[in-house]
Each structure stands twice: as structure tokens, then as C-alpha cells.
Amino acid sequence: MTAPDRPAAASLAEAGSARPETRSAHVYDIASNDPDSRLVDRSRVSEDDLAQISAVMQAMGNLRDAENRLMEASLDYMKLGRNDMRALHFLIVCENRDTVATPGAIAAHLHVSSASTTKLLDRLERAGHITRSPHPSDRRALAIRIAPETRHTAVETVGRQQARRFDAAARLTPEQRAVVIEFLTSMAAELEGGDDAW
């Protein structure tokens, strides 16, 4: 893995800050998606509240689009797959916390099978991104570590761009952050708690 160059780092920054096109301005509008109120009962929601809720959905969509653009640019720059990048991020966090990462822990983090994890680690090791060594206290396990050069590249490009989320959160007051946390937690629960047939 070569050290990050300025053009590559710049492309990651541009990917994260690009604005959505105007043609998608109504993609997340509630009335545009559900004109007959078959999905959402809007009878007790005022027009002003409906417009603001649609603006919230649009803002979430913009964030998701920005994250997807940044992820695609990151994968292209690092020449890795999505789970490869997630595994490397997990290894960086484990190293920062002085925790020994094992294949089992990586499999649990990625929600994949042991066999899939083995293939992933084989691929990363062949590319020089990780090392395997005996676990310091468990003879049945292996210790997985990220290669120093890969860590440096990931942190100084993808990591530095992702860290800009902190600035947005830091600009909020504690009360505003509490509202955001409650909203995002509630939204996740709504999405995961449905009884959809599919």
C-alpha cells in the first residue's frame, strides 16, 4: 500500500462534500412517495409539519447519499471491498483500545460466517494489509493486526474524511445532541421492528 497522494485525498474530500442534484429534490418528499396516504396516515399532520418532516427525510437522504459517495470513493482508492474496509476499521479500533482482534471477533462484527472471514483474511494478508500471529493468551486463536502502512493510509485518507462528522456533532448544543440521539435511535427501532412479510 502506497502512501496517500494529494489528488486521491482530494477526491475523497470532494466525494464527501458533493451536493445532491436538484432533480432528486422531491425523492424523499412524503406526498410524492405516498400521494394517497396508503403508507402513512397524514390526516392529523398540518401542512407545515408535513413540509418539515419531508425536509427531515430529505436531509437524511442527503446524508446517506454523501456517505455512499464517500464509501465508493474510499473503496476505489483503497482497492478493497466493503467488508474489507469494515474489517480494517475494526482492526484500527481494536489496536487503539489495546484489544487483540481475533477471526471470531471480526466475524461477529461483520455478521459473516467463519468461512467467509477466513477468505477475507486470506485476501487481506495476500495484499499485505494484515498479519496473523499466535494469540498472546489463547492458544486456540489467532491475533489479527493491521499492517502499519495500511493503517497510516486508511487513517490519513478515509479516516480523516470520516472524522469530519465530529465537527457537525460538536457544533450542536448538548440539548440538540440529545434530540438527535433520541430521533436516530427511534428511527432505527422503527426500521428494525417492523413485521413486514418480506
Q: Which residues contact 69 (CB under 8 A, 6 or more apart)?
A: 15, 16, 18
CA distance 94 to 33: 42
Determine what percent of the chain falls in helix, strand and coil, rounding each to the nearest 5.
65, 5, 30
Structural domains of the chain, ranges and CATH numbers in brackets: 6-79+158-183 (no CATH), 82-146 (1.10.10.10)
First to last CA, the chain: 42
Digitized pLDDT (tens) for each residue of the chain, 198 residues in all = 444 454 555 556 555 555 544 446 678 888 889 999 999 889 899 999 999 999 999 999 999 999 999 889 988 888 999 999 999 999 999 999 999 999 999 999 999 999 999 999 999 999 999 999 999 999 899 999 999 999 999 999 888 888 999 999 999 999 999 999 999 999 999 988 766 665
- The DSSP call for residue 19 is P
Give the pTM. 0.74
Give the three cell numbers for residue 155: 487513517
